[in-house]
Amino acid sequence: MLLNTNFSEADISRIIEMAWEDRTAFEAIEVQFGLNQDGVIKVMRTHLKLSTFKLWRERTHGQKTKHAMLRTAEVNRHQSKQHNKLHR
């Protein structure tokens, strides 16, 4: 479900970055941007080249770390190495 369709370029960029990160769950994107997994997929399909989108889908399809409920206890909160660089 797309709750907010008026994303800035910076928001779109951050959504794409979070979607590519292995340890960032779709639920974290939903909390921050109001996009569930289907909404993230639509954003990725719209803003990536087809070949890049297919590569991303292959990478994330069935990946347990992308779903908070499927994660093991060893997977804790993840913060991108670039987080502090982006939010100064």
Answer whether residue 2 is part of any domain: no
Q: Could you give the CA distance from residue 42 to residue 54 in angstroms, rounded to a whole number?
A: 12
Answer whether residue 3 is part of any domain: no
Number of domains in the chain: 1
Answer whether residue 1 is part of any domain: no
Tell me, yes or no, if the pTM score tops 0.85: no
Answer whether residue 4 is part of any domain: no
Answer whether residue 19 is part of any domain: yes
Answer whether residue 62 is part of any domain: yes
- Tell me the residue range of the domain where 60 lies: 9-86
State pLDDT tens for residues 4-48.
Answer: 568 999 999 999 999 998 888 888 999 999 999 999 999 999 999
How many CB atoms are located within 10 Å of the residue 2 CB?
Answer: 14
pLDDT at 17: 94
